Amino acid sequence: MSAIRFDDVWKEYGDHIVLERITMEVEPRAFIALVGPSGCGKTTLLRMLLGEEQPSRGQILVDGKPLPAEPDADRGVVFQRYSVFPHLTVLQNVMLGRELRDAKLIGRLFGAARRAAADDAMKLLAEVGLAGQESKYPSALSGGMQQRLALAQAIMRGPKILLLDEPFGALDPGIRADIHLLMKRLWNETHLTVVMVTHDLSEAFGLATRVIALERSRNRPEERERYGATVSRDLEIFPRRSAELRTTVQPAPAGTTRSGKEHQPGRPGALVLKGQP
């Protein structure tokens, strides 16, 4: 739960201006969707939030403090690909954040601490619909399941901000609808501010509290290098959507997770869930 503030942020690579004059406020617990044509700097903006890239001018503030210049545990991330570690099982992937936090020297937990971490991880796995998959390696999971795992892994560490880089872009429509439900629930039940980059406008309007469009105002070939993209639309979703502050984390109600069906995308019923809570 963090407020983010962009203060006249520019990003330039040499002479090439990618983003310019980005000034915006993101309120705590918002769910921001960044949309825009390819190459308009959506991902660059996300990478700056992540700390992987630094703004060339201006600054980004989180809760009033300048953003650290490298990624840290306050900002979780889910990429479109390579978000989970292929050499760890599903359970180990989720436990990793806890192990890294509590065992600075060897990065592994043993005994009671390990069992406690494993218990928490199992609860989280059940919640994202991956119960029973814990001893598999990620390569044995479908794309949708891998993204569920990536979400669980990020959330296990308890970030304040969750950054999503086209996380569901490579998934089949039915599976995407299911994982949207999960995403909504996670956003409601945790204290996250979410920033999501997406190509899919219906996804943006379906999940977010606010949709922000980045666009180049000048697009003639001779102008492309010298004018970057900036915020062209800032739409609040109507009727206003806000996170419910449910504190107890409940296991998934029957029917909201369909992970068992994910490997059969064409199966009738996979889309039934559309338009549920």
Partner 1 sequence: MRLVNMRPGRQTRFYLLALPFLLVAIAYFAGSGARLAQNPNDKLLPALPSMVQAVKQMAFEVDPRTGSYLMASDTVASLGRLGSALAISTVAALVLGILIGLLPGANALLGPFVSVTSMVPPLALLPILFIVMGLGENSKIALIVIGTLPCMIRDLAMKVQELPREQIVKAQTLGASTWQIALRVAMPQTLPRLIDVLRLQLGPAWLFLIAAEAIASDSGLGYRIFLVRRYLAMDVIIPYVAWITLLAFLIDVGLRVLQRKAFPWFASVRAE
Alpha helices in the chain (DSSP H): 42-50, 90-102, 111-127, 143-156, 173-189, 201-207
3-state helix, strand, coil in the chain (%, to 5): 30, 25, 45
Determine, following the binding rule CB under 8 A, whether residue 83 of this chain makes contact with partner 1.
yes
Determine, following the binding rule CB under 8 A, whether residue 70 of this chain makes contact with partner 1.
yes
Determine, following the binding rule CB under 8 A, whether residue 44 of this chain makes contact with partner 1.
no
Residue 102 tokens, joined? 């509590």
Element (H, E) at 31: strand 31-35
**Of residues 87 and 240, the one with the C-beta less far from partner 1:** 87
Determine, following the binding rule CB under 8 A, whether residue 72 of this chain makes contact with partner 1.
yes
Of the candidate spans 2-10, 28-36, 85-93, 232-240, the one that interacts with partner 1 by CB under 8 A turns out to be 85-93
CB 162 within 8 A of CB 152: no
Write the binding mask 180 to 199 for partner 1: x where contact by CB under 8 A, - elsewhere.
--------------------
Determine, following the binding rule CB under 8 A, whether residue 97 of this chain makes contact with partner 1.
yes
| # residues contacting partner 1 (CB under 8 A) | 35
Q: In what order do the strands lie in the sheet with 65-66?
A: 65-66, 57-62, 4-13, 16-26, 229-236, 210-216, 31-35, 193-197, 161-165, 75-78
**Of residues 89 and 188, the one with the C-beta less far from partner 1:** 89
Of the candidate spans 25-33, 77-85, 170-178, 240-248, the one that interacts with partner 1 by CB under 8 A turns out to be 77-85
Q: Kindly tell me which residue out of 65, 82, 268, 277 binds partner 1, with binding defined by CB under 8 A.
A: 82
Determine, following the binding rule CB under 8 A, whether residue 36 of this chain makes contact with partner 1.
no
Spacing of C-alpha 115 from chain mean position: 28
Q: What is the DSSP string of 26-79?
A: E-TT-EEEEE-STTSSHHHHHHHHHTSS--SEEEEEETTEEPPSS--TTEEEE-
**Of residues 20 and 166, the one with the C-beta less far from partner 1:** 166
Determine, following the binding rule CB under 8 A, whether residue 75 of this chain makes contact with partner 1.
yes
In the 8-state DSSP scheme, what is residue 255?
A: T
- Identity of the amino acid at 148: R
Determine, following the binding rule CB under 8 A, whether residue 148 of this chain makes contact with partner 1.
no
Determine, following the binding rule CB under 8 A, whether residue 52 of this chain makes contact with partner 1.
yes
CA proximity to 149, closest of 171, 131, 174, 176: 131
**Of residues 1 and 252, the one with the C-beta less far from partner 1:** 1
Of the candidate spans 98-106, 188-196, 247-255, 268-276, the one that interacts with partner 1 by CB under 8 A turns out to be 98-106
Say how far apart CA 144 and CA 155 lie, in whole Å. Answer: 17
In the 8-state DSSP scheme, what is residue 272?
A: T
Write the binding mask 118 to 147 for partner 1: x where contact by CB under 8 A, - elsewhere.
-------------------x-xx-------
**Of residues 140 and 272, the one with the C-beta less far from partner 1:** 140
Interacting residues toward partner 1 by CB under 8 A: 50, 52, 70-73, 75-77, 79, 81-88, 96-97, 99-101, 104-108, 137, 139-140, 153-154, 157, 159
